[in-house]
Amino acid sequence: MTKLPNPTALKGRTTREIIDDSIAGGVDCAFTESVALKPYIEKKIATLKVKGRLSVDPLEVYESKYTTHVKENGGSWFDAKKRMDETGGFFNPKTQKISLKLRTARVESAVHEGIHLLAHEQLRKTFGSALDEGLTAYFTDVILDEQGLKPGEAYPDPKGAAAAVVSFAGLPMVARAYFLGEVSPLLNGLLAKLGNPAFTAWRSAMAENRWNDAAKLLTPAR
């Protein structure tokens, strides 16, 4: 990851700073300034903006939106309640809206949910939510790093497992799968390089949150 020579989008901000609605334009600008992600997001960000889709909501509004979102995806009120405390925000793919929790959400949360907005649903459908969250945290760090900000703290373990996939398959192939939904080259690449048994073992490790096992399977033996 590389810092841009003159980043302006999040100037004066810090990764862990608590935010309000005014962050949205900065996130859009950070995406526009991105050199590392440009080939994969350039077309989308021409029309898909965080500004107008992001709101920093008071707790009761956030809770209501989040509960609706979880229920719409087959979860229960109890699931929503349990997960709600662990998150500072969420992206609802159905409404294409980002809701962040007032006095809790940070710069990192806004960039993270903005990355979700730019993601292609095919990645999650093919590889599951663990790799999706891990890569979202990974690409959040790419943006933060370009802007000269510290890495984020969300999803450290899935992020590590996702970073192992990036090292193994290369950023372009992973980014094309994540942002453009071109999952076949990544899927076939992993399968060809690992072989069927190791590939199956990797998928299981990811699905069962065994992050070290997953990363180890992608690390060539020396």
Q: Which is nearer to Zn ion, 133 or 146 (CB)?
A: 133
Q: Which is nearer to Zn ion, 54 or 217 (CB)?
A: 54
What are the residues binding Zn ion (CB under 5 A)?
A: 133, 136
How far is Cα 19 from Cα 110, in angstroms, rounded to an integer?
A: 8
Q: Which long-range contacts (CB under 8 A, 24 or more apart) does 21-28 make?
A: 21/54, 21/55, 21/56, 23/54, 23/56, 23/107, 23/110, 24/49, 24/50, 24/51, 24/52, 24/53, 24/54, 24/110, 25/50, 25/51, 26/110, 27/51, 27/54, 27/110, 27/111, 27/114, 28/114
User: Least distance from C-beta 195 to Zn ion, angstroms?
Assistant: 31
Q: Which is nearer to Zn ion, 117 or 173 (CB)?
A: 117
Q: Which is nearer to Zn ion, 13 or 116 (CB)?
A: 116
Structure tokens at 157: 């373990």
Q: Which is nearer to Zn ion, 15 or 136 (CB)?
A: 136
Kind of pairing between the strands at 54-57 and 97-101: parallel
Please choose, from the candidates 26, 95, 104, the residue with its C-alpha nearest in 3D space to the C-alpha of residue 58.
104
User: Least distance from C-beta 36 to Zn ion, angstroms?
Assistant: 19
Q: Where are the beta strands (DSSP E) in 86-143?
A: 89-92, 97-101
How far is Cα 66 from Cα 84, in angstroms, rounded to an integer?
A: 7
User: Least distance from C-beta 129 to Zn ion, angstroms?
Assistant: 9
Structure tokens at 125: 């459908």
User: Least distance from C-beta 65 to Zn ion, angstroms?
Assistant: 15
User: Least distance from C-beta 193 to Zn ion, angstroms?
Assistant: 27
Q: Which amino acid is it at 67?
A: T
Q: Which is nearer to Zn ion, 144 or 217 (CB)?
A: 144
User: Least distance from C-beta 28 to Zn ion, angstroms?
Assistant: 18
